[in-house]
Amino acid sequence: MYMATVTLERPGDTRDAVASRSGWIRSRLRELALLPSRPGLLSLAGGLPAPELIPRRAYAAALRDVLAGDDDALQYGQPYEALREHIVELMRERGVGCEPRQVLLTSGAQQALSLAAQLLMAPGGQVLMEEHVYTGLRQAVLPHRPTILTVRTDLDTGMDVDAVSELLARGARPAFIYAIADTHNPCGVRLGREQRTRLVALARRFGVPVVEDDSYGLLHYDRDTLPALRALEAEWVIHVGTFSKIIAPALRLGWLVLPPRLVREAGILKEAADLECSALTQRAVARLLQRGYGDHLDRIRAGYRGRRDAMLAALGDHFPASTRWTHPPGGFFVWVKLPRQLDCDRVCEEALAEAGVAVVPGSAFAATPGLPAHHLRLSFASCAPDEIRTAVERLGRLLERRLANG
């Protein structure tokens, strides 16, 4: 039997209490992300892009050109059409066909998720997600005091679509299903081809939208890529993309690809939130893309592929035989499952204090309280391969000691 957890945020909760619970998780992750400033510390915690893979010079040149020749770059303005056209081209690489008018520019993927939640959710409505989920999704939906439905994540094939089907057949009607089909954060898995087809078929059959978070979809490192969910279903899938991972997070520039029926309302919500994305940033990114982006994507994919391979090899060499981990086809993260006798929160504390390695416990990504804490998320993105090997070796020795001591 396929089971799902249902948790109701109490109607009596105040907005401050909701924000406090959500903010605690995010602040904890932010603290871990800043730890590399400590001397001698190796961090596998943050999801930060590698600084050396950010195209600083090319972006600086694009900025100079825009400032020198575009009088509208520092004004209020409409969404920059040239940038939306470039995003349409990027979407074709993901198998997605769309028109520029369906692309809503956002302040990163986080705002895209927040706008999608506002667009689709009523107060107290249901939302369906996996048991371990990107923490920003919880932040996006918690102001709506949702009923959270969860399903398991298979470490080989991704979201448990059988459990999704069972929930919908029993009458659940979430405002949307949140799915990371490619290079899952935190789990480092992707949804299988058959599961993708079934998930979008369920969305059509039951009239339940899917919000597809494709933040890492362009960072694929193996040849056997799969189409985005949006490529399989245009009417019931809302696609989230971002330049944070493929150019730089500080741009705060992302996008939604929407069905035509939702474009106008989503634009109104965006305008109410912050009027518009930076006109200067929009034009500079468009100029960068205009000069050709394929070589840059190839370069960063090769760089992250080497780091991923270094981490997987080190895990095989140094982690206990009783552990299991995912083999991500892209993205930044490996998800490690530890033996049940180990408390991962405590392991993370000891790793920081004794081994000088920062990692994030799986409990930080729990969609609902009380999930067992038997996982670690390891990021290979911002450390050099030799640092990754050293960090994993230190962690492996710590785990061996903990298991030996019971």
- Please give the pLDDT value at position 11: 39
- Please give the pLDDT value at position 297: 96
Profile the chain (406 residues) by mean pLDDT over runs of 10 residues: 44 44 53 64 94 97 97 96 98 97 98 98 97 96 96 96 98 98 96 97 98 98 94 98 98 98 98 97 97 93 98 98 97 97 94 96 91 91 97 98 90
CA torsion sign, 395 to 397 to 398 to 402? positive
* 320 vs 353: CA distance, rounded Å: 20
- Please give the pLDDT value at position 2: 41
* 119 vs 277: CA distance, rounded Å: 19
CA angle 49, 295, 111 (to 5 degrees): 40
- Please give the pLDDT value at position 405: 87
In angstroms, the Cα distances linking 396 to 37, 46, 112, 386 are 23, 19, 38, 15
- Please give the pLDDT value at position 369: 84
Closest CA to 383 of 51, 37, 57: 51
* 113 vs 263: CA distance, rounded Å: 15
- Please give the pLDDT value at position 34: 58
* Residue 70: Cβ-neighbour burial (10 angstroms; 0-12, 13-18, 19+): middle
Question: Structural domains in the chain?
Answer: 37-53+295-404 (3.90.1150.10), 56-292 (3.40.640.10)
* Residue 122: Cβ-neighbour burial (10 angstroms; 0-12, 13-18, 19+): exposed
- Please give the pLDDT value at position 223: 85
Matching residue, tokens 């000088």: 356
